[in-house]
Chain A
Amino acid sequence: MKKAMTLALGILTSVGGFFDVGNIATCTQAGARFRFQLIWALLLATLVVIVLVEMSGRFAAVTKKALPDAIREHFGFGFWLVPFIILTLIHILVLGAEIGGICFALHLVTGLPLQVWALPVAILLWVFLWRATFSTIENSTSLLGLITLCFVVATIWLHPPTHDLLQGAVPSMPSKNPENYWFIAVSIIGAVIAPYLFYFYSSGAVEDEWDPSYIPVNRAVAVIGMGFGSIVSLGAIIVAGVVLAPRGIHVDDYHQAALMLTQAFPYWGYVLFAVSMGVACLGAATEVALSMSYTFAQTFGWNWGENLNPAEDARFSLVYTISLLLGSLFMLAGVDPLKLTLLTMAISAAVLPVVAIPMLLLMNDRKLLRDAANGIFSNLATAAIVLLTLVLAVVSIPLAVVGGS
Chain B
Amino acid sequence: MHEEVDIIRDFLDKQIVDREETKMGRADGIVLAIDGNGPPRIDHFELGFAVLARRLHPRIEEWLSALRKRWSPRKNARQIVAWSKVMDVTDHHIQLDLKAMETPAFDWERWLRDHIVTKIPGSGEE
Contact = CB atoms under 8 A, between A and B. Distances in A.
A65 B92 CA distance: 8
Interface in A61-82: 63-65, 69, 72-74, 76-78, 81
Given A64-B92, A309-B123, A314 B13 contact: no
A303 to B, nearest CB: 5
How many interface residues does chain A have, given as a range?
A: 20 to 34
A77 B55 contact: yes
A112 B112 CA distance: 36
Contact of B56 (A73, A81, A131, A309): A81
Contacts of B55: 77-78
A311 B22 contact: no
B56 A300 contact: no
Contact of B24 (A73, A303, A309, A312): A303
Nearest to A126: B120
A314 B112 contact: yes
Given A301-B23, A302-B23, A314 B109 contact: yes
A302 B22 CA distance: 9
B117 A77 contact: no
A64, A72, A300 pick with most chain B CB within 10 angstroms: A300
Nearest to B108: A315
A311 B118 contact: yes
Interface in A130-184: 130-131
In the complex, which range does the number of interface residues on chain B fall in? 20 to 34
B12 interface: yes
Given A76-B12, A77-B13, A303-B109, A310 B23 contact: no
B122 A130 contact: yes
Nearest to B111: A314
Contact of B120 (A310, A312, A368): A310
A310 B124 contact: yes
A303 B105 CA distance: 11
Interface in A40-86: 63-65, 69, 72-74, 76-78, 81
B25 A309 contact: no
A310 B14 contact: no
Interface of A: 63-65, 69, 72-74, 76-78, 81, 127, 130-131, 297, 300-304, 308-315, 317-318, 368
Q: Closest 4 CB pairs between A and B? A: A309-B124, A301-B26, A311-B125, A314-B112
